[in-house]
Amino acid sequence: MVTLLCGLSNLKLKIFAVLFTAFFFLLSKPTLGQQFFRIKAEFSIKETLVDGKSSLLMGTVYFDKTRKQIIYSIKFPEPEFLVVTDSFVYTIKEGKIQEKKQGVGLMQFSIFNLALSSKLSNYGLDQSPLFKLTNVEKEDSLIISTWEPTLDKLKELTGTILISQVHKRLFGLVFFDKNKKLMSKQFFEEYKNFSGLQFPGQITQINYIGGKEYYKITTFKNVIVNDTNENTFYNYNIPAQ
């Protein structure tokens, strides 16, 4: 899954930190009969880059679970749409596709899909044949579980994933490559309850590249669950090429 990011532009990498960042967090279970099918949030992504510069993205994200596409309406630094489907990522400006990148299983492990499906306690790994649980231990207030890839092909792409939880909510994720080298850490904080859905207000990601740490901070605010307005965004139609 980590290699899905290869070849994407810097903008795509910022967005995928949110999508896979993932590799993402625990939600409290919905009450009997309660179902989540839509989520909307204002987001910002601040990042320190390898060249020493910094970047900032701001906008609104929309996701409808039945539609199975994530719509990023980016307002800053310039208006554009980033549309993520299960197989492709589209960059759209002024109603025209500027870029199209292929991926695999992008919806299954997206933060929004897992959130609305209440499968984030273990980032959906407990319900996936791709990883298996190999160890669970307690360290102070943390419950730490270790997950290993099961398929030989996947073992060539990624390694161990550590998941830590506090009070049954995801607190941290740690990713290693196939050679057990630390790749990244993510921390999920400032949870709030939105109509029964627990969602973090801030995700801090630390990437380890060339022996240095690079930070990416994603924030969410004004989260709305099961919104019945703005159907134009939720049902966004990708323009013909």
Report the range of poorest mean pLDDT among 23-27, 76-80, 120-124. 23-27
Give the predicted TM-score (pTM) of the model. 0.80
Q: How far apart are CA 125 and CA 70, in angstroms?
A: 21
Does residue 186 contact residue 197 with C-beta atoms inside 8 Å?
Answer: no
Domains, the chain, in order of start with CATH, read 2-234 (2.50.20.10)
Average pLDDT over residues 200-223: 95
Mean of the per-residue pLDDT values for the chain? 86
Does residue 24 contact residue 39 with C-beta atoms inside 8 Å?
Answer: no
Taking CA atoms, 45 is separated from 11, 142, 217, in Å, by: 10, 27, 6
Report the range of poorest mean pLDDT among 10-14, 18-22, 44-48, 87-91. 18-22
Reading the block at residue 147, the tokens are 């997950």
The reported pLDDT for the residue numbered 107 is 86
Taking CA atoms, 79 is separated from 75, 95, 197, 206, 219, in Å, by: 5, 11, 29, 27, 19
pLDDT band at 3 (very low <50, low <70, confident <90, very high): very low
Q: How far apart are CA 158 and CA 23, in angstroms?
A: 13
Taking CA atoms, 102 is separated from 106, 109, 138, in Å, by: 10, 15, 40
* Each residue's pLDDT tens digit, 93-128: 999 999 999 987 788 888 898 889 888 777 888 888
Q: Which amino acid is at 2?
A: V
* Each residue's pLDDT tens digit, 48-68: 999 989 999 999 999 999 999
Average pLDDT over residues 213-220: 96
Q: Which amino acid is at 164?
A: S
Residue 156 has pLDDT above 90, yes or no: yes
The reported pLDDT for the residue numbered 34 is 65
